[in-house]
Homo-oligomer: A and B are copies of this chain.
């Protein structure tokens, strides 16, 4: 069938979609979500169809092409294209197979991931895959195959060193910027640590957002290799690379139901580690109400699964379960967290002791994992490197290698509007709600506004006097600050007893 192109002037950003009038669809016996092959001269492309029910949307005889298809076919409005029915990708059969409770083979998993990465599957089809893996839990063998398939469908940062150190935190705890402390400690010992981090999705800051206050974080693989060759480590945004790109597309369809399919969580984390050639990996599982893992049993089960997949992938993995019941560090938000990091590395008296202790602990475990420290001596060694100033020196090297100059913590700009939350009466801090803190910081503008966020003066078990400042909200927008204060009134993060 021949149709005239109408440029819809919209990008879909995902699977290729074309719009067809229902009268034309009836002629070819096409239904919504069927696939067609569109040909224009020597260009052709497969897309999913959407049916325009009214003539207002699209006249019969026309085909509405979205930006990606226009581009792929080198088409413009009023061009003539041919269409014919195309088959579903074979991976749809494999998804059905998993939904039917069967175990998938290597090439079946690879095909599903390839099709997800290349936008061949609709959100509905990907949702069925997520659902299948959630209800018919993948075996460890399947999970390993999924991990490798996810990694191999993206870029690989190949590093010819051994060991290659890495860490991952399951997340959910505001602040907690350990990466920016332990990467310079580890790198200062001569070990290689090519750390890629994410930007925030639902938190007030990701490591990439925070590091960006001090240096560039977006690099290609070639440039990252150069940084590592020079200074042993880096702290960069993983999103600027194309590491395990299926992950984002899977997370997108997990979101509506907040599904965390365990096999996908494991595969998603391990695929990114696999992509950057890590050999020795520390996994941090913060445990506590308001963090991602809320029960000890769940944490222990996840720990065991990480150890199993580490063995299966021949990676040395150490998993620690840490206190995730309150924010770690004082600053919440990119600039405030970056200031904490610099204070800590410089040994300034304003450094947050909880973040210091946790970072040293983790760095210590990593030194032991790599065989740099004798068992039991990692903490002491890591502390020594930090207190000697070697870690700060290394951080300055990393910042320079990532294209920026030294900055003093006092010179980090913070939001110009502030609000102090003061204690209504004296007492002791008995609890801090992670989720409430995150929400207030985000409403104040973090992480888009890097200078927005919260500075905590009090942690759990600290005593407060009446009228004493418990935390300060920063924002660059009067209205956002007002909204944050209103949110604070609705959901106060602090319990004082």
Which residues of A line the B interface, CB within 8 A?
A: 8-11, 13, 19, 26-27, 29, 31-33, 51-54, 56-57, 64, 67, 88, 92, 95-96, 99, 101, 122-125, 127-128, 131-132, 134-136, 201, 252-253, 255-259, 442-443, 448
A66 to chain B, nearest CB (A): 9
Instruction: Check B123 against A442 for contact (C-beta < 8 Å).
Output: no
CA of A258 to CA of B259 in the docked complex: distance in angstroms? 23
Instruction: Check B10 against A57 for contact (C-beta < 8 Å).
Output: yes
Q: Kindly report which residue of chain B lies nearest to residue A23, judged by CB atoms.
A: B448
CA of A125 to CA of B256 in the docked complex: distance in angstroms? 7
A23 to chain B, nearest CB (A): 9
A96 to chain B, nearest CB (A): 5
Chain B residues lying within 8 Å of A31, measured Cβ to Cβ, are 201, 255
CA of A67 to CA of B52 in the docked complex: distance in angstroms? 11
A221 to chain B, nearest CB (A): 23
Q: Kindly report which residue of chain B lies nearest to residue A10, judged by CB atoms.
A: B57
CA of A54 to CA of B122 in the docked complex: distance in angstroms? 21
Interface centre among A64, A134, A252 (most CB of B within 10 A): A134
Instruction: Check A134 against B253 for contact (C-beta < 8 Å).
Output: no
Please list 21 pairs of residues, one from A and one from B, whose beta carbons are closer than 8 Å in the complex, sorted by A's number.
Answer: A10-B19, A10-B64, A11-B56, A13-B51, A29-B442, A32-B252, A33-B252, A56-B67, A57-B67, A88-B256, A92-B256, A92-B257, A96-B257, A99-B131, A99-B134, A99-B259, A123-B123, A125-B256, A125-B257, A128-B256, A131-B132
Number of copies: 2
Q: Kindly report which residue of chain B lies nearest to residue A449, judged by CB atoms.
A: B27
CA of A124 to CA of B92 in the docked complex: distance in angstroms? 15
Instruction: Check A9 against B56 for contact (C-beta < 8 Å).
Output: yes
With A11-B56, A56-B67, A128-B131 already in contact, 11 other A-B pairs whose C-beta atoms are closer than 8 Å:
A31-B201, A32-B252, A33-B256, A99-B135, A101-B135, A122-B256, A123-B123, A128-B257, A131-B135, A135-B135, A135-B136
Q: Kindly report which residue of chain B lies nearest to residue A446, judged by CB atoms.
A: B29
Closest 4 CB pairs of A and B: A131-B131, A135-B135, A127-B127, A124-B127
CA of A165 to CA of B31 in the docked complex: distance in angstroms? 33
A419 to chain B, nearest CB (A): 19
Q: Of the candidates B29, B52, B122, B257, which one forms a contact with A99 in the assembled complex, judged by CB atoms under 8 Å apart?
A: B257
Q: Of the candidates B11, B29, B54, B258, which one forms a contact with A52 in the assembled complex, judged by CB atoms under 8 Å apart?
A: B11
Given known contacts A32-B252, A256-B92, A259-B96, is B54 in contact with A11 (CB within 8 Å)? yes
A448 to chain B, nearest CB (A): 5
Q: Of the candidates B29, B99, B134, B253, which one forms a contact with A124 in the assembled complex, judged by CB atoms under 8 Å apart?
A: B253
A362 to chain B, nearest CB (A): 29
Q: Kindly report which residue of chain B lies nearest to residue A48, judged by CB atoms.
A: B256
CA of A253 to CA of B124 in the docked complex: distance in angstroms? 7
Q: Kindly report which residue of chain B lies nearest to residue A8, judged by CB atoms.
A: B10
Chain B residues lying within 8 Å of A122, measured Cβ to Cβ, are 256
A31 to chain B, nearest CB (A): 7
Chain B residues lying within 8 Å of A92, measured Cβ to Cβ, are 256-257
Instruction: Check B255 against A33 for contact (C-beta < 8 Å).
Output: yes
Chain B residues lying within 8 Å of A51, measured Cβ to Cβ, are 13
CA of A131 to CA of B253 in the docked complex: distance in angstroms? 14
A58 to chain B, nearest CB (A): 8
